[in-house]
Structure 1
Amino acid sequence: MKIKEIKTDLFADYFQFYLQDELAERNLSDSWTQEAVDKLLALAPGTIGVGTARNMDVPVTIQIFDSEPELPFDLTPFEQINECDLEATSGKIVVAGCTDYFPEAQRIEVNKGTYRVRIYYGNLDKLSEDGLDGNDFYEIHMWPSNQKVDVKVIKMKNASTQHSS
């Protein structure tokens, strides 16, 4: 069951935004490898970097569930779907663009612990010619998890559906 939903627009400067534990260090510079860029996902302890199709304001919806939600029956609206873990040791998750002023960034209160995070990337190819405007969107589902699991790519852009890590 869905516990909480947050809808926001984030400035995706450098084609990314963050979900991170409030106490985590905010540095993903070494995490954006070529593989991370391809997956649109960079990870560091307590931090998830979500890659975006443009470096402008992008719509982001975050939904927190009490247990793992079902995958949508129709995955066609999404070009990419990733799953990874996020450790929330502080009980607060910060949602921010990578150049946002951290003390003023939005926070979501959660129970402390490990969360599984599923990131849906939609309409990545629906951008204006100059790449500044678009219909891309990012939806994040989070739920508590008592086990740590590797990154899972459920659907990869420009590829058929795959289940890999």
Structure 2
Amino acid sequence: MATNLELFADYFQIHVLDDVSEIDLLTGRPDDDSDDFDHVVEASLNLASGRMVVLGCTDYGPDAARFDMPAGWTRVRTSRRNLEAAAFPDPDCEDEPEDMEEIRLQTWPAPYALPDIIKRWTPPDA
């Protein structure tokens, strides 16, 4: 399963949570393609309801994207790219795709594990 979502990620946040379109639901841990991204992290999420919700920080919850998932512990890998352009957009091209951050979420069933920073992006000095 996979999808593209346009979220208003104010405060530089998105929320991924359980709930009482297309995201990758994998059968196992994906291959490491972190060279293609600026920042990559993994964390565990207990989807007791079997529904995952993805929304921007101030989005209206009932309108958020929802995905049927296997109930129980799920691992979520968040890969982000184009961070420098999004952090320092060209004033003449604001809101253009070239100035927008891209976020990919991949999920797969896995037992609980501590969060893991696979690759960390450090913004350049402004």
What TM-score range do you get, normalising by the shorter chain? Answer: 0.7 to 0.9
- Find the aligned partners of 2:62 and 2:26 in 1 and give their Cα distance: 26
For residue 51 of structure 2, what is the aligned residue in structure 1?
92
Kept in 2: contact 1:80–1:157 (CA 8 A): yes
Q: Which consecutive segments of 4 or more residues in structure 1 shift more than 3 A?
A: 129-133
Q: What is the CA–CA distance in structure 2 between the aligned matches of 1:15 and 1:149, rounded to whole Å?
A: 25
- In the alignment, does 2:70 pair up with 1:105? no
Equivalent position amino acid for 1:69 in 2? P
Pairing 1:120–2:84 present = no
Can you list the C-alpha shifts for 1:41-79, whole angstroms capped at 9, x where unaligned?
Answer: xxxxxxxxxxxxxxxxxxxx731112212112xx33311
Match in the other structure for 1:65: 26
1:24-43 equivalence runs, <5 A: none
State the one-letter code of the partner of 2:25: I
Superposed displacement of residue 158, structure 1: 2.8
Length-normalised TM-score, structure 1? 0.64
One-letter identity of the residue aligned with 2:64: A
Q: Percent identity?
A: 31
Pair 1:152 & 2:116 matched: yes
More strand by share: 1
Q: How many residues in Structure 1 have an aligned counterpart in Structure 2?
A: 116
Provide, for residues 117-157 of structure 1, a one-character-per-residue CA deviation record: whole Å limited to 9, x for no partner.
11101110023145953142001110001x21111111111
Determine helix, strand or coil for the equivalent of 2:38. strand
Q: Which has the higher contact order (CA 8 A, sep 6+)?
A: 2
Pairing partner for 1:8 from 5, 9, 16: 5
Task: Report the equivalent of 2:104.
Answer: 139
Q: Distance in 1 between matches of 2:75 and 2:94?
A: 31
Unaligned segments of structure 2, at least 5 residues: none
User: 2:46 and 2:17 mapped to 1: Cα distance?
Assistant: 8
Question: Counterpart of 2:39?
Answer: 80
Q: Which TM-score applies when normalising by structure 2? A: 0.82
DSSP-derived class of the 1:100 partner: coil
Which residue identity lines up with residue 80 of structure 2 in the other structure? Y
Does structure 2 retain, via aligned residues, the 8 Å contact 1:77–1:123? no
Structure 2 vs 1, CA of residues 135 and 105 (structure 1 numbering), >3 Å: closer, same or farther?
closer
Code of the residue aligned with 2:17 in structure 1: it is Q
